[in-house]
Amino acid sequence: MLSESMQAALNKQIRIEAESSQIYLAMASYSEDKGLEGVSQFMYDASDEERQHMLKMFKYVNERGGHAKVSELSQPALEFGSIKEMFETLFNHEVFVSKSINELVHIALEEKDYATHNFLQWYVAEQIEEEAQARTILDKINLIGDDKGGLYLFDNDVKQLTVVSSVMPGA
């Protein structure tokens, strides 16, 4: 059984995961509008993955006797200034999500809720991957600078980067 405070913290994270999906969806639209097919597909895939993260946590809360809540979401930014700024936003958002997951782990340990602590380890590992991927992409964007040819090649290369979710179907 989840404590009230753990349930509230998990519901807050559910909202963050849902908002992450929306942020990536906005980035997909922005990229598509700029003619960056590879980047937009990458962002659509990332949006789907974040929704799966939200659903996994949503189901966990309900399975543990809590009540997962659907909350109102903040509208994400729709413009990013440049692709570089968009990827900087992506990286900073992943760092924010990692801190939020770490706070959940802290609460679980304080409350000696080892089931939730164990459940959250998947998210900890996932965030390590997502931050590393965002950092790598941002490094490549920084190398390209203002080179339109480089951006074209990057857009083609990013098609090879598939967001492989660790979420098992039906999990």
Crossing angle for the helix pair 114-144 and 37-63, nearest 10 degrees?
170
Establish if 76 belongs to a structural domain: yes
Annotated binding site: 17, 50, 53, 94, 127
CA quadruple 134, 139, 140, 146: dihedral sign? positive
Taking only the tens place, the pLDDT of each residue in 105-122 is 999 999 999 999 999 999
Single pTM value for the model: 0.89
Q: Could you give the count of Cα atoms lying within 13 Å of 90 in the half-sphere of its Cβ?
A: 32
Establish if 24 belongs to a structural domain: yes
Establish if 142 belongs to a structural domain: yes
* Residues spanned by the domain of 95: 4-158
Establish if 168 belongs to a structural domain: no
If you average pLDDT over residues 13-28, what whole number do you get? Answer: 98
Establish if 92 belongs to a structural domain: yes
Establish if 165 belongs to a structural domain: no
Considering its fold, how many domains does the chain have in total?
A: 1
Reported as type and span, the H/E element at residue 137 is: helix 114-144
Closest CA to 90 of 53, 141, 124: 141
Establish if 171 belongs to a structural domain: no
Annotated binding site for Fe cation: 17, 50, 53, 94, 127
Tell me the three state secondary structure of residue 80.
Answer: coil
Residue found by looking up tokens 């963050």 in the block = 16
Crossing angle for the helix pair 114-144 and 83-110, nearest 10 degrees?
160
Establish if 138 belongs to a structural domain: yes
Measured CA to CA, the distance from residue 59 to residue 100 in angstroms comes to 19
Mean pLDDT rounded to a whole number for the chain: 92
Alpha helical stretches, state H, 2-113: 4-33, 37-63, 83-110
Say yes or no to pLDDT of 161 above 80.
no
CATH code of the domain in which 152 resides: 1.20.1260.10
Taking only the tens place, the pLDDT of each residue in 35-94 is 999 999 999 999 999 999 999 999 999 999 999 999 999 999 999 999 999 999 999 999
Residue found by looking up tokens 């993955």 in the block = 49
Tell me the three state secondary structure of residue 146.
Answer: coil
